A = this chain, B = another copy of it.
């Protein structure tokens, strides 16, 4: 392996000058510069990554993406595809590469957030769970990071950037719309209780329901977000006269559709259905067409990279960004266009 020393010797130019040519931090005359570059080309010299970063805490120009931090979710989520694609493209615009960590324990992940632990300048964390105490224990300094998803109270006072959807407001809005359209008994089949998104939805639901004693509300929790879970809880609540159901995602919604059909009820007129999460890649088809809210993951990625790049460059204070989901009212919501 050729080193800076080798090319210094070969050209008779000082090692420090050679270093300056490559780091570009100090002026080197065109003449000398050429000579160094020519020798480097011939000798196939290329700066050593590890030495460069180690020597004076330089940047690696790599962003770390930490996927799947809670076991409840399990596996590679469908939306990761879109997120990774968008993050890759956005990062590249700023000269960063993306390093994907998948399936690490919370402890390993926490370690990797300390400076020098991993070859990353900053970290992007997704969907933290409520039980997650990753960072709360760490009192030493951390690399810049941004959390995608609700990050409240997870970091034991540690400051960090965050990006989230307004889940509380989303559910509130949908419930209000259901009430406006005359629904009297509204049910929500939520996700796993360990997720922060679940408690956010609960909050929005309860706020909207409690404002009006004439409307009743019920919440169920689906441990694994399956069609079977959706069928099970929908069957129960429909027998009690429920006329509107909010689902955490498309899998649950497909079970809800089946339950409604089996009870000879009509989706959209007898029972309104709305899915709070939706992924086109799920290969689910809904008839009548499902009403849903979709996350704009490209926007998430853009904001995440912007926040983190700003943080790295300017040591700017942590910021929070709220991105609202797009609501699509379709046939499962009845007359509404």
Contact = CB atoms under 8 A, between A and B. Distances in A.
A interface: dominant SS: mixed
A118 B62 CA distance: 10
Contact of A85 (B44, B48, B81, B101): B81
Contacts of A82: 81
Contacts of A44: 114, 138-140
A93 to B, nearest CB: 9
Interface stretch (A49-57, A219-227, A266-274): A49-57
Nearest to A50: B54
Given A81-B85, A88-B100, A111 B281 contact: no
Given A81-B85, A97-B101, A102-B89, A46 B1 contact: no
Contact of A119 (B50, B91, B140): B50
Given A1-B115, A49-B117, A50-B119, A99 B102 contact: no
A151 to B, nearest CB: 21
A288 interface: no
Interface string A259-286: 0000000000000000000000100000
A294 interface: no
Interface in A75-99: 76, 80-82, 84-85, 88-89, 91-92, 97-99
Contacts of A84: 81, 84-85, 100
Interface string A150-184: 00000000000000000000000000000000000
A47 interface: yes
A103 interface: yes
Nearest to A80: B85
A132 B323 CA distance: 42
A2 interface: yes
A50 B281 CA distance: 39
A116 interface: yes
Interface string A45-71: 011111101100000101000010000
Given A76-B89, A81-B85, A98-B100, A50 B53 contact: yes
A73 to B, nearest CB: 14
Contacts of A49: 116-119
A114 to B, nearest CB: 5
Contacts of A140: 1-2, 44
Given A62-B99, A100-B100, A1 B116 contact: yes
Contacts of A91: 102
Q: Which 5 A-B pairs give the minimum distances between C-beta atoms?
A: A50-B54, A119-B119, A48-B116, A81-B81, A44-B140
28 contacts: A1-B114, A44-B114, A44-B138, A44-B140, A46-B114, A46-B116, A47-B117, A48-B54, A48-B116, A48-B117, A49-B116, A50-B50, A50-B51, A50-B116, A54-B54, A60-B119, A76-B85, A76-B88, A80-B85, A81-B81, A84-B85, A84-B100, A88-B100, A88-B102, A92-B102, A98-B100, A119-B119, A281-B281
Given A50-B51, A81-B81, 10 more contacts: A1-B116, A48-B116, A49-B117, A50-B53, A50-B116, A51-B116, A81-B84, A81-B85, A88-B102, A99-B100
